């Protein structure tokens, strides 16, 4: 196995912690989530800390970033959540995902008092009827309240998640969502197109409708970019926008190909050319950790060629060039020339970057750029 | 066996009228096969034949009936193989004409009955499927009797399925069909009426001995082609090969030639002894020419050598297959292949895909044009790409088309034939309700979607057959298709000037539907020379990117993109445009809706 360049020997600076519990599973969700189970939250948190001890030698402390993803991390029993926040190493950026209806003044205080610097709110839309389609429990007022509570608690780095392309969403709905979101003056916005992922309840119910309206909604992404850029946000990643100096440093770690350690069920780690994914079973995870063993994991070596393909795929999502040396092995030279001629790709000195139009077609451009390789033949 | 104890016959019928079932039943009634050994369509050995219920290669099987040797020569029933049928009929003295009691006479019944009559065969008419509830044996018998000029009382009524009347058929064969002529003492002559290829033993000739006799290890010569060989074995089919010490005048059997290439022994040739050769070959040999051409390209260009090998091997058992290397700007290296007709093309393609496991792209078929240059030179053009504009005149092949329909569809068929540049010849009533229509049509007009149109417009009632009759001058032009301003040679078509505009417009519209949107606008144009006659634009995609790509699960996203990359291999990159395979067939189906 070829050791990748980067943080080997220096230690891993990015930690992901998976908190899978939710009050309710939304129809479109395909993450590893568990509904309810308050009695197991504390035990799960203990197991997270147990897994941390097993892998701690990889880490470089203090950490650069920690990210609590879910599930609904803020749905975790407050005592358990507090215990977890207190036990983890410190980091200069600590993000937690939250559903608006879970954010109370008490919670905001708990978070800020234990090192959380950034909150990512799952807003999705401000239109009640579309919230219903998505099976979201928060109402538009909950979002506003949540933002005020967080600001009152001195959290000054708030990100809002929006979803567009919801069945039944009219262009005017999108405009209103953008208006409402901008009115809250968030530091960061993530705007995702709704994906009908195979096997979800949602796809079963709305898949055909989504396929039908696909073409009509093609312009939504353009509209999102236009509006947010006009409002002064930086389109720094395909689906992410920020005010100056407010990029998500944790996610930037993934996009720049850095190593990261993931804790919890379903969590993924990439360290020194090896990637593993913890099995999603809660019982299996708890049992293993309580026995002092690592949980069941799916291992995948990331060799130099795979790594450069990933660097290409992720690096081209950013508004800064990816260093050409990092991706040269994955790029088909002929395709590169073709795409340059089509003004979809540009080559600033030593780098590779998508043009504005190229970014809208980023997936197709990456597929085109990728060189055929032996590793891919096994798919 | 003495000549007067031998009867040679074939069975002719329209498709699905029960020819193969009757053959099966004859094998059973004569104890050639026990019921246990029977499986449906014993004589159709290729998987393809059994699946499609058709006979592609002729077969010959010997059965014993009341002290007589009966040789059944099973013929292909389809128009594409008319030459094979005519050779097989030449090997017989009689024919069973089988007609479905519920369907009555159909186009192939006629075509085959006329062939049998032309070959001076004694026709034994049989009405089959009398057990069907909708059967009308009396009126069908009357139709058949009228056709062959016989007494309706002499038309046999049977059910091949239940076996009813099959023994009477065998008796009638012995009584009515003349014993073979021929001179047992004359120098040996045998007609090659078909051949097959045995992977280990080479070319197997199916022969009817006319004069003299043949023995193994006797040096032989094929009189038309001059091929010499020494047969390793002689025998007959029962229905498996049974070697014998000799094949005598009047008998039907096989000759293991030991030849390694089927093209060295063509159907219709005459075998004779090198030691004591006959003075004159048997009549009727001709070199059959392919009428329909199409480009065959491997989907994966790496498979070109496999395709070449497969065609070479297929040619060993199918002498009528023609192929030559073709290079297309759009599709790369492949072969331009010639076929006897559309069914033959379909069969070759299926055999290549099944027996050789190849993934093929077949271009829309076209006919062979005869181009007379300004210098007076005559060229045969198999490929629209080679069709230049510098010529004196062009001739295209014409067919005589026989269509039989219920009378309420006569107008419909006439309308279709007029749309296809058909020239009406005549029509006649076969019965009160069924009409026979004869048209002359350009072959090019039926290689597109003619069959489908005929079938759908007549609700499946029409039956259709044709003969290639010759060439006629036509006002033909080549319509080119340009994608993003680049001509795509594999999409060029040759059409009558009058239809050029409509076809060009329809094709451009179909391509707009078949070709996925690209990362840039793609104009599609149809042109005659430099004149653009139709234009459409495939609008560029505006968005194609994974919305969400965060979190540590990078492998899944990577694999998604890699799968897309692999998926793209099924597209053909032509210039800057990616074209799915289906687009190359769009030209075949211009009137149809897009398959969704």
Please tell me whether residues A226 and A141 are part of one structural domain.
yes
Please tell me whether residues A150 and A51 are part of one structural domain.
yes
A259 belongs to a structural domain: no
Count of domains forming chain A: 2
Q: Which of A124, A24, A117 is nearest to A108 (CA)?
A: A117
Q: How far is B515 from chain A (nearest CA, A)?
A: 16
Task: Kindly determine whether residue A363 and residue B558, on different chains, have CB atoms separated by under 8 Å.
Answer: no
Question: Is A366's pLDDT higher than 80?
Answer: yes
Mean pLDDT of B363-390: 85
What's the confidence (pLDDT) of residue A66? 98
How many CB atoms within 10 Å of residue B34?
9
Cβ burial, residue A293 (10 Å; 0-12/13-18/19+): exposed
Domain with A96, as residue range(s), is 14-254
Structure tokens at A146: 């949540």
Q: Which of A121-125, A186-190, B484-488 has the lowest mean pLDDT?
A: B484-488
Q: Which of A355-364, B450-459, B568-577, B584-593 has the lowest mean pLDDT?
A: B584-593
> Which of B484, B517, B547, B564 would best serve as a mutation to test chain A binding (most A beta carbons within 10 A)?
B547
Mean pLDDT of B147-160: 92
Partner residue facing B559 (CB), from A364, A368, A379: A379
Please tell me whether residues A245 and A369 are part of one structural domain.
no
Sign of CA dihedral A361, A364, A369, A370: positive
Q: Which residues of B touch A262 (CB under 8 A)?
A: 552
Please tell me whether residues A218 and A366 are part of one structural domain.
no
Partner residue facing B557 (CB), from A222, A313, A359: A313
Task: Kindly determine whether residue A365 and residue B551, on different chains, have CB atoms separated by under 8 Å.
Answer: no
* CA separation, residue A10 to residues A58, A86, A271 (Å): 9, 25, 11
A102 at interface of B, judged by CB pairs closer than 8 A: no
Structure tokens at B487: 């001509």
- Read off the pLDDT band of B40 (50, 70, 90): low
Please tell me whether residues A343 and A221 are part of one structural domain.
no
Could you tell me which residues come within 8 angstroms of residue A167 by beta carbon, excluding any fewer than 6 positions away?
A133, A206, A209, A210, A213
What's the confidence (pLDDT) of residue B36? 56
A14 at interface of B, judged by CB pairs closer than 8 A: no
Mean pLDDT of B283-306: 83
Q: Which residues of B touch A376 (CB under 8 A)?
A: 562, 565-566
Give the domain CATH number at A195: 3.80.30.20
Partner residue facing A379 (CB), from B551, B563, B576: B563
Task: Kindly determine whether residue B565 and residue A372, on different chains, have CB atoms separated by under 8 Å.
Answer: yes
Q: Average pLDDT of chain A?
A: 91
* CA separation, residue B108 to residues A24, A186, A258, B75, B77 (Å): 69, 79, 73, 13, 7
* CA separation, residue B330 to residues B282, B346, B564 (Å): 48, 23, 22
A72 belongs to a structural domain: yes
Partner residue facing B542 (CB), from A222, A238, A268: A222
Q: Which of A89-93, A133-137, A174-178 has the lowest mean pLDDT?
A: A133-137
**8 Å CB contact between B581 and B572:** yes
Residue of B nearest to A216 (CA): B542
DSSP A12: B
pLDDT tens digit string along B453-506? 888 898 878 888 888 889 999 999 999 999 999 888 888 888 899 889 988 998
Among A254, A281, A312, the domain boundary falls at A254
A344 at interface of B, judged by CB pairs closer than 8 A: yes
What's the confidence (pLDDT) of residue A184? 97
Mean pLDDT of B294-306: 88
Residue of A nearest to B577 (CA): A338
- Read off the pLDDT band of B578 (50, 70, 90): confident
Q: What percent of chain A has pLDDT over 70?
A: 96
**8 Å CB contact between B234 and B243:** yes
Mean pLDDT of A64-88: 95
Q: Which of A100-109, A154-163, B70-79 has the lowest mean pLDDT?
A: B70-79
Please tell me whether residues A168 and A35 are part of one structural domain.
yes
Mean pLDDT of B212-226: 93
Question: Is A150's pLDDT higher than 50?
Answer: yes
Q: How far is A183 from chain B (nearest CA, A)?
A: 24
Q: Average pLDDT of chain B?
A: 86
**Sheet containing A268-271: which strands, arranged edge to edge?**
A268-271, A274-278, A297-301
What's the confidence (pLDDT) of residue B265? 87
What's the confidence (pLDDT) of residue A8? 44
Question: Is B543's pLDDT higher than 80?
Answer: yes
pLDDT tens digit string along A245-264? 999 999 999 999 999 999 99
pLDDT tens digit string along B320-375? 888 999 998 778 899 999 998 877 888 888 888 888 888 888 888 889 899 988 88
What's the confidence (pLDDT) of residue B35? 56
A1 belongs to a structural domain: no
- Read off the pLDDT band of B312 (50, 70, 90): confident
Q: What share of chain B is helix, strand, coil (3-state, %, to 5)?
A: 30, 35, 35
For residue A361, the cross-strand partners are none
Q: What percent of chain B has pLDDT over 70?
A: 91
Please tell me whether residues A203 and A329 are part of one structural domain.
no
Among A187, A220, A254, the domain boundary falls at A254
A174 belongs to a structural domain: yes
A50 belongs to a structural domain: yes
- Read off the pLDDT band of A4 (50, 70, 90): very low
**8 Å CB contact between B281 and B226:** no
DSSP A119: E
Task: Kindly determine whether residue A239 and residue B548, on different chains, have CB atoms separated by under 8 Å.
Answer: yes
Question: Is A5's pLDDT higher than 50?
Answer: no
Helix axes B410-419, B450-457, angle to 10 degrees: 160
Better-predicted residue by pLDDT, A229 or B53? A229
Task: Looking at B152-265, list the stretches that DSSP marks H as alpha helix, in order from N- to C-terminal side.
Answer: 166-176
Question: Is B585's pLDDT higher than 90?
Answer: no
Give the domain CATH number at A368: 1.10.10
Mean pLDDT of B175-196: 92
Q: Which of A38-47, B89-98, B198-207 has the lowest mean pLDDT?
A: B198-207
What's the confidence (pLDDT) of residue B463? 82
A321 belongs to a structural domain: yes
What's the confidence (pLDDT) of residue B201? 87
Quickly tell me which residue has 């057990």 as its tokens: B131
> Which of B549, B569, B570 would best serve as a mutation to test chain A binding (most A beta carbons within 10 A)?
B549
Partner residue facing B558 (CB), from A219, A313, A365: A313
What's the confidence (pLDDT) of residue A6? 44
**8 Å CB contact between B486 and B574:** yes
How many CB atoms within 10 Å of residue B221?
18
What's the confidence (pLDDT) of residue B587? 66
Q: Which residues of B touch A310 (CB under 8 A)?
A: 554, 558
Q: Which residues of B touch A362 (CB under 8 A)?
A: 544-546
Could you tell me which residues come within 8 angstroms of residue A310 by beta carbon, excluding any fewer than 6 positions away?
A257, A302, B554, B558
pLDDT tens digit string along B438-451? 999 999 988 877 88
Please tell me whether residues A247 and A340 are part of one structural domain.
no
User: What is the bridge-based pairing of β-strands B571-574 and B577-580?
Assistant: antiparallel
Please tell me whether residues A221 and A334 are part of one structural domain.
no
- Read off the pLDDT band of A100 (50, 70, 90): very high
Mean pLDDT of A2-18: 70
Which residues in chain A (198-257) have CB-CB distances under 8 A to chain B? 218-219, 221-222, 238-239, 248, 251, 254-255
A289 belongs to a structural domain: no
Mean pLDDT of B515-543: 92
Task: Give the Cα separation of A20 and B502 in Å (integer).
Answer: 62
- Read off the pLDDT band of B41 (50, 70, 90): low
What's the confidence (pLDDT) of residue A379? 43
What's the confidence (pLDDT) of residue B570? 64
Q: How far is B491 from chain A (nearest CA, A)?
A: 24
Please tell me whether residues A248 and A312 are part of one structural domain.
no
Q: Which residues of A touch B519 (CB under 8 A)?
A: 342, 344, 361, 364-365, 368
**8 Å CB contact between B307 and B358:** yes
Please tell me whether residues A173 and A53 are part of one structural domain.
yes
The secondary structure of B528-592 as a DSSP string is: ETTEEEEEEEEPPPS----S---SS-HHHHHHHHHHHHHHHTTEEEETTEEEEGGGGGGGGGTTS
Task: Kindly determine whether residue B550 and residue A275, on different chains, have CB atoms separated by under 8 Å.
Answer: no
Better-predicted residue by pLDDT, B13 or A260? A260
Task: Kindly determine whether residue B543 and residue A367, on different chains, have CB atoms separated by under 8 Å.
Answer: no
A337 at interface of B, judged by CB pairs closer than 8 A: no
Question: Is A201's pLDDT higher than 60?
Answer: yes
Please tell me whether residues A50 and A176 are part of one structural domain.
yes
- Read off the pLDDT band of B89 (50, 70, 90): confident
Partner residue facing A361 (CB), from B543, B553, B559: B543
What's the confidence (pLDDT) of residue B46? 54
Task: Kindly determine whether residue A222 and residue B565, on different chains, have CB atoms separated by under 8 Å.
Answer: no
What's the confidence (pLDDT) of residue A87? 96
Which residues in chain A (302-331) have CB-CB distances under 8 A to chain B? 306, 309-310, 313-314, 317
Among A218, A239, A254, the domain boundary falls at A254
- What's the 3-state SS for B317-384? HCCCCEEEEEEECCCEEEEEEEECCHHHHHHHHHHHHHHCCCCEEECCCEECEEEECCCCCEEEECCH
Q: How far is B442 from chain A (nearest CA, A)?
A: 43
A276 belongs to a structural domain: no
Task: Kindly determine whether residue A239 and residue B520, on different chains, have CB atoms separated by under 8 Å.
Answer: no
A297 at interface of B, judged by CB pairs closer than 8 A: no
């Amino acid at each position: 196995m070829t050791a990748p360049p980067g943080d080997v020997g220096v230690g891993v600076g990015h930690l992901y912690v998976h908190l899978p519990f939710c009050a309710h599973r939304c129809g479109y969700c395909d993450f590893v989530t568990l509904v309810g189970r308050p009695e197991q939250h504390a035990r799960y948190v203990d197991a997270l800390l147990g897994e941390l001890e097993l892998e701690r030698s990889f880490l470089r402390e203090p950490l650069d970033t920690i990210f609590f993803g879910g599930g609904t991390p803020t749905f975790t029993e407050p005592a358990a959540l507090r215990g977890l926040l207190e036990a983890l190493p410190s980091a200069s950026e600590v993000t937690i995902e939250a559903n608006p209806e879970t954010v109370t003044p008490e919670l905001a205080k708990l978070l800020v008092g234990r090192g959380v610097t950034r909150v990512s709110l799952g807003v999705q839309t401000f239109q009640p009827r579309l919230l219903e389609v998505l099976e979201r429990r928060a109402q538009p007022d909950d979002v506003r309240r949540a933002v005020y509570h967080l600001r009152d608690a001195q959290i000054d780095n708030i990100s809002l998640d929006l979803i567009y392309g919801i069945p039944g969403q009219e262009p005017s709905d999108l405009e209103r969502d953008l208006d409402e979101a901008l009115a809250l003056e968030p530091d960061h916005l993530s705007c995702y197109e709704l994906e009908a992922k195979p096997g979800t309840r949602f796809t079963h119910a709305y898949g055909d409708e989504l396929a039908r309206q696909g073409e009509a909604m093609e312009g939504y992404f353009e509209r999102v970019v236009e509006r947010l850029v006009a409002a002064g946000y930086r389109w720094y990643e395909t689906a992410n926008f920020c005010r100056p100096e407010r990029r998500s440093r944790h996610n930037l770690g993934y996009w720049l190909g850095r190593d990261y350690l993931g804790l919890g069920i379903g969590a993924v780690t990439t360290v020194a050319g090896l990637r593993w994914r913890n099995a999603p079973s809660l019982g299996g995870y708890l049992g293993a950790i309580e026995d002092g063993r690592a949980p069941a994991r799916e291992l995948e070596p990331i060799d130099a060629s795979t790594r450069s393909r990933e660097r290409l795929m992720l690096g081209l999502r950013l508004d800064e060039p990816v260093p050409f040396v990092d991706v040269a092995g994955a790029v088909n030279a002929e395709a590169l020339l073709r795409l340059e001629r089509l003004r979809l790709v540009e080559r600033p000195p030593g780098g590779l970057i998508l043009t504005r139009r190229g970014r809208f077609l980023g997936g197709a451009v990456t597929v085109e750029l990728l060189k055929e390789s032996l590793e891919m033949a096994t798919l | 066996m003495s000549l007067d104890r031998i009867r040679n016959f074939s069975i002719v019928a329209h498709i699905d009228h029960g020819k193969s079932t009757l053959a099966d039943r004859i094998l059973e009634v004569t104890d050639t096969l026990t019921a246990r050994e029977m499986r449906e369509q014993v004589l159709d050995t290729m998987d393809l034949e059994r699946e499609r219920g058709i006979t592609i290669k002729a077969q010959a099987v010997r059965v014993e009936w009341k002290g007589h040797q009966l040789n059944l020569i099973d013929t292909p029933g389809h128009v594409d193989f008319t030459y094979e049928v005519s050779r097989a009929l030449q090997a017989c003295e009689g024919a069973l004409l089988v007609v479905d009691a519920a369907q009555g006479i159909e186009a192939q019944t006629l075509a085959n009955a006329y062939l049998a009559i032309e070959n001076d065969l004694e026709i034994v008419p049989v009405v089959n499927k009398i057990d069907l509830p909708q059967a009308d044996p009396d009126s069908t018998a009357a139709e058949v009797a009228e056709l062959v000029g016989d007494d309706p009382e002499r038309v046999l009524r049977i059910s091949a399925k239940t076996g009813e009347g099959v023994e009477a058929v065998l008796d009638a064969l012995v009584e009515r069909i003349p014993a073979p002529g021929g001179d047992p003492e004359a120098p040996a002559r045998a007609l090659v009426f078909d051949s097959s290829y045995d992977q280990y033993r080479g070319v197997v000739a199916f022969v009817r001995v006319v004069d003299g006799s043949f023995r193994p290890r006797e040096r032989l010569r094929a009189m038309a082609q001059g091929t010499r060989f020494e047969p390793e074995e002689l025998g007959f089919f029962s229905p498996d090969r049974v070697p014998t010490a000799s094949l005598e005048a009047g008998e039907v059997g096989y000759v293991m030639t030991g030849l390694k290439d089927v093209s060295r022994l063509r159907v219709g040739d005459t075998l004779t002894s090198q030691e004591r050769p006959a003075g004159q070959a048997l009549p009727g040999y001709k070199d059959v020419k392919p009428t329909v051409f199409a480009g065959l390209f491997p989907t994966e260009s790496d498979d070109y050598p496999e395709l070449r090998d497969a065609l070479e091997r297929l040619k060993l058992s199918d002498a009528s297959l023609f192929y030559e290397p073709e290079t297309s700007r759009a599709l790369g290296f492949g072969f331009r292949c010639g076929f006897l007709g559309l069914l033959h093309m379909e069969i070759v393609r299926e055999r290549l895909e099944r027996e050789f496991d190849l993934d093929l792209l077949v271009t829309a078929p076209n006919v062979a044009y005869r181009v007379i240059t300004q210098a007076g030179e005559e060229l045969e053009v198999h490929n629209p790409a080679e069709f230049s504009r510098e010529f004196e005149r062009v001739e295209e092949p014409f067919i005589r088309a026989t269509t039989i329909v219920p009378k309420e569809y006569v107008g419909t068929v006439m309308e279709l034939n007029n749309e296809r540049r058909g020239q009406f010849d005549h029509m006649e009533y076969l019965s009160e309700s069924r009409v026979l229509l004869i048209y002359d049509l350009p072959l090019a007009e039926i290689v597109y979607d003619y069959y489908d149109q005929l079938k759908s417009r007549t609700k499946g009632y029409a039956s259709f057959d044709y003969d290639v009759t010759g060439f006629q001058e036509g006002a033909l032009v080549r319509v080119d298709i340009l994608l993003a301003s680049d001509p795509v040679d594999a999409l060029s078509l040759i059409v009558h000037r009058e239809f050029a505009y409509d076809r060009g417009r329809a094709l451009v519209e179909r391509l707009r539907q078949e070709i996925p949107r690209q990362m840039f606008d793609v104009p599609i144009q149809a042109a005659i020379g430099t004149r653009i006659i139709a234009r459409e634009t495939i609008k560029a995609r505006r968005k194609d990117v994974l919305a969400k790509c965060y979190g540590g699960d990078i492998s899944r996203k990577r694999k998604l993109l890699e799968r897309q990359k692999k998926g793209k291999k099924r597209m053909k990159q032509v210039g800057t445009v990616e074209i799915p395979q289906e687009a190359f067939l769009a030209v075949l189906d211009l009137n149809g809706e897009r398959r969704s």
